[in-house]
Chain A
Amino acid sequence: MPEVSQDAKQRHWAKTRNLTVLVLVIWFIFSFVVPWFAKDLNELSFLGFPLGYYFIVQGSLIVFVLLIFFQNWRQDAIDDEAGLGGGEE
């Protein structure tokens, strides 16, 4: 593995941290904020479902799956950019 400077490692970690914070904010919204307002959201309708109900049986779940794939796609880019992507030992 080519030598990567301390500086580059620090920038890599800063970007990783920012991405993680972004992911956790989205996670928080769909885990807690949306279900908290389920009663109000149920007034609206989506695909024939009451919206609040839709989110807790499908919507949030789909967001979680996509969120992890999104995070991994971005994280791989961050790793490659820093020259730290060659994860195979």
Chain B
Amino acid sequence: MIKGSFIENLGRVYAMYTGGFLVFIILMAILEQFGVGANTIGICFVAFTVVIYAVIGWLSRTMQVEAYYVAGREVPAVYNGMATAADWMSGASFVALAGGIYFGGYGYLGFIVGWTGGYVLVNSLMAPYLRKFGCYTVPDFIGTRYGGNLARFCAIVVLVVASFTYVTAQINASGTIAARALHIPFEAGVWVGLLGILLCSMLGGMRAVTWTQVAQYIVLIIAYLAPVIWMSNKQGFGIIPHFSYGDAVLRIQELEPLVSLGTAATEGAPFGGVRILTTPHNDPQGGMDSWKFVTLALCMMTGTASLPHILMRYFTTPSVRAARKSVAFSLFFIFLLYFTAPALATLTKLQLLDPTLPTAIIGQSFEAVKSLAWVQNWESVQMLWLSDSNGDGILQLNEFFMRPDIVVLATPEIAGLPYVVSGLVAAGGLAAAMSTADGLLLAIANALSHDLYYKIIDPKADTRHRLIVARVLLIVIGALAAIIASLQLTGILGAVAWAFCFAASGLFFPLVLGVWWKRANTQGAIAGMVFGFVAGSAYLYYVFPGGMGGTPWFGIDHLRFAIIGMPVSLVAMVVVSLMTPAPDAETQAMVDEVRVPSGKTILGAAH
């Protein structure tokens, strides 16, 4: 079906795919009208989309090194932008972001600025140069630029720690969604999620992941935008809510004192994970608030520019210019979701708070709220809890507990949209979690198979051997991640922020200075990676409540420990580089060559 001319036919193939998906949604809506149950519709959405991804994965199978590691370097910029956006937007972005804004207010918005602004760093400091280099993996760049197996090995360690921290959170998210949609226990859901992820990536490596990620982006963006726009129209917030929800922000600020925002709950919920709303929607205090905001944004930005699963997406474009162009499209596609999330959080909050709206629950009769269908649905799965603790028969703000994750998932029900929309949202969340997990697992397995096995352990291994090793590693690492995910050790958000901080502490300066400072040498890079990574990890251990539980210095808590790791990395790298001999003429010429956008890559094809 797909041969040779596939790249030229991309537009048609994905237009047909999108059309097919829309037809599927309409079909489900019709079935719902005929009385097909909500559970069946949920199962259909999840099963249909996962089967499609698996088919794409199977069609893209390959036994060529170049296709397996970098998708044959023939992915057009716009499609690579979509694939990167899916790779980037994880279960956390899709499910937890709007909930985080709902509960976290101004402070949480640091993630929004950080996770978009980071692409400016990717574009100006990293992507074009790494593409020119022609590497297969990020440690490949470190290993060749600085020379020596030790530097390569340090990069592998940082990559594995950062990506592994991240991937368990994604498998956890895909397991949660699969479990809910298919009505199986969470532990089984995790393995179903992993199976889907491996089907997409195992046979075709980067090529298969690329084309499934494009498909997953289309599903996830439709699933995110459609409910928000639908809800906005239904509730009279405007056709496109994004530019008109300013009034809603002001109205929430008006309502907050009226509903006694900030009053602590008088009793706790009988199960974990749920919380009441205590933080104002838009009330930056300046000073410490501003400091916490910018440090969080900075960590997320430098983390973005150092996370290998993102950087390696730019190795798949045909040219340096296409790599830059695809960074621009990546950010544009990501932006579509990120500027929707605050609108979603604001409108959902307003609907629950504003007594003049029919959807309001705060300040309404306790019994009436308790018998709402969506409240009962989510209460039965322990995502929501309410209790009339002062016994006045009215639901107060501090009597309404909710898990942040359900803001996105429950919004269609709160607004009274048909169930088909909830099924769509579940499919979108699963697409987001699966696509990110795919990219991360591949980043880890490729670094281990290409850099550790082929470059360090057995440089004489033939192609077949290398690709078999890569696939075995993919399965082993996926299984390890699934085992850890099924233990449910960390919350989704915490693990994601850690991954960014690990990557920024260990890899940011060695990568940037590799291009921008010719004098940087092997010893310096090793020192930068080791000291930065160790300092960041040590501080994390010091400050994390589960570790030593120390008092954060200047409000630098466990979400932003790269603020400690990065300066240590920079200083160590510069000092050690200057104390040791400058790199040889050959390396300096190589750096000059990296800065020239045209011409052959530094590393030959199929190196």
Contacts and interface: CB of A to CB of B under 8 A. Distances in A.
Interface size class of A (residues with CB under 8 A): 35 or more
Nearest to B109: A56
A32 B119 CA distance: 15
A86 B600 CA distance: 11
Contacts of A49: 245-246, 249
B196 interface: no
A84 B598 contact: yes
Interface string A54-89: 101110111011011101100110010000111111
B244 A87 contact: no
Interface string B88-99: 000000000000
Given A13-B595, A65-B328, A72-B328, A27 B120 contact: yes
Interface string B191-228: 00000000000000000000000000000000000000
A58 B117 contact: no
A32 B389 CA distance: 42
Interface residues of B, number: 58
Interface stretch (B158-166, B294-302, B406-414): B294-302
Contacts of B324: 71-72, 75
Nearest to A76: B321
B482 interface: no
Given A35-B290, A68-B327, A87-B320, A1 B599 contact: yes
B382 interface: no
B592 interface: yes
Interface string B331-361: 1100100110011000000000000000000
Contacts of A75: 128, 324
Given A53-B249, A68-B123, A61 B290 contact: no
B596 interface: yes
15 contacts: A16-B595, A23-B120, A31-B113, A35-B297, A38-B286, A39-B285, A47-B243, A48-B250, A49-B246, A49-B249, A50-B246, A65-B116, A68-B120, A69-B328, A71-B123
Given A68-B331, A85-B597, 8 more contacts: A35-B109, A35-B294, A38-B284, A46-B246, A57-B343, A58-B342, A72-B324, A72-B325
